[in-house]
């Protein structure tokens, strides 16, 4: 059993990260003590604390950029099943049941299999990878995720040569997600990657962040993290991964193909029809910063798209 149930005080109380990062630089009036005290007293942030993960391997893929505060990453979420506002998921996902959980990996594979979260924790050593995460809406965060390359999971089921794409499906249950009625998107949420994208070492199967298991609003218990694509490609709370021959549907692409392409690689040169993608606002920063091609991972992933017109395949 890798997940240790902590008997002492929760991780979030040992490390009130909000104190470490100056999140409100432009409002110097904030008394840090007040902020810190509020973090500790707030019942919601207590309930959101995950279980501490065992020691994580360091990853060469990590950025050295300053991490976004835990508070920001857990209180500014796009998770439409739990409400369409940014602060909705932190409130509405608190009682999301993620145990027991089954992730089924199937389709064009030799050994289809259902995995429990405990199984997933043992497939490969858990690494800490500090990735940039860029939302299509023009904001970004830097998060220390915990997990391993998605390829490690896919190799377990032995994809057949017919497996050209990987389809992801996330959890959906109106009973647990009453807000989903108003999401305005077709659910369950589905996403897809080309097989070579899915097998790329940067594409990550993620079970934790900030050294803990994932909180519900960030995609507990297991999610995808594809750092060179817009955030919506990194589907949360995965229940099914299916290897398929044809390009699978992707939720935002179905909702509005004109605005959200299947590939959705971070690309400052291709604007969203309603806003520019040239810059982004890193949470905790005042000024917008330039957005980098492939979110700064061009050296690793640009070769996947050689010869492709990225304006056409946005």
Alpha-carbon distance values, 80 to 14, 143, 274, 286 (Å): 31, 20, 20, 26
Nearest approach in angstroms of CB 52 to other proteins is 23
**Is position 288 an interface residue for other proteins (rule: CB under 8 A)?**
yes
Out of 1, 5, 9, 29, the residue judged to bind other proteins by CB under 8 A: 29
| The one segment of 30-38, 49-57, 104-112, 149-157 that binds other proteins by CB under 8 A | 30-38
Residues listed for the chain? 314
**Is position 76 an interface residue for other proteins (rule: CB under 8 A)?**
yes
CB-based contact 205:147 (threshold 8 Å): yes
CB burial of residue 148 (10 Å; 0-12, 13-18, 19+): buried
Out of 79, 80, 148, 297, the residue judged to bind other proteins by CB under 8 A: 80
**Is position 235 an interface residue for other proteins (rule: CB under 8 A)?**
no
Rg (CA), the chain: 19
DSSP, residue by residue, 176-226: T-GGGGGS-S-SS-EEEEEHHHHTSTTSEEEEEETTEEPPGGGT-S-EEE-
**Is position 281 an interface residue for other proteins (rule: CB under 8 A)?**
yes
The Cα–Cα gap between 14 and 58 comes to 22
CB-based contact 77:218 (threshold 8 Å): yes
- Name which of residues 4 to 23 contact other proteins (CB under 8 A): 23
Nearest approach in angstroms of CB 38 to other proteins is 9
Output 71 or 213, the one with its CB closest to other proteins.
Answer: 71
**Is position 274 an interface residue for other proteins (rule: CB under 8 A)?**
yes
Q: Which residues bind other proteins (CB under 8 A)?
A: 23-24, 26-27, 29-30, 34-35, 69, 71-72, 75-76, 80, 84, 86-87, 137, 139, 182-185, 255-256, 271, 273-276, 278-279, 281, 283-284, 286-288
């Amino acid at each position: 059993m890798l997940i240790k149930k902590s008997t002492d005080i929760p991780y979030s109380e040992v490390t009130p990260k909000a104190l470490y990062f100056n999140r409100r630089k432009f409002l110097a009036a904030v008394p840090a003590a007040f902020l810190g005290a509020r973090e500790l007293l707030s019942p919601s942030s207590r309930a959101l604390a995950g279980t501490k993960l065992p020691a994580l391997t360091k990853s060469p893929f990590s950025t050295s950029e300053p991490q976004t505060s835990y508070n920001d990453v857990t209180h500014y979420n796009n998770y439409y099943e739990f409400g369409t506002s940014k602060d909705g998921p932190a409130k509405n996902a608190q009682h999301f049941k993620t145990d027991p959980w089954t992730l089924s990996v199937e389709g064009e594979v030799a050994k289809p299999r259902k995995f429990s979260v405990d199984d997933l924790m043992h497939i490969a050593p858990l690494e800490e990878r500090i990735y940039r995460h860029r939302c299509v809406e023009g904001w970004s965060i830097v998060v220390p995720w915990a997990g391993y390359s998605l390829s490690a999971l896919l190799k377990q089921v032995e994809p057949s040569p017919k497996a050209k794409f990987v389809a992801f499906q996330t959890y959906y249950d109106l009973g647990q997600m009453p807000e989903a009625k108003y999401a305005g998107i077709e659910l369950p949420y589905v996403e897809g990657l080309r097989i070579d994208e899915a097998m790329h070492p940067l594409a990550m199967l993620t079970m934790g962040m900030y050294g803990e298991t994932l909180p519900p609003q960030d995609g507990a218990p297991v999610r995808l993290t594809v750092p060179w694509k817009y955030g919506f490609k990194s589907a949360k709370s995965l229940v099914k991964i299916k290897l398929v021959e044809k390009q699978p549907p992707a939720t935002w692409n179905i909702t509005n193909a004109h605005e959200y392409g299947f590939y959705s690689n971070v690309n400052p040169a291709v604007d969203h029809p309603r806003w520019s993608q040239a810059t982004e606002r890193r949470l905790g920063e005042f000024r917008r910063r330039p957005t980098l091609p492939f979110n700064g991972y061009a050296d690793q992933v640009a070769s996947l798209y050689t010869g492709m017109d990225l304006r056409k395949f946005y």
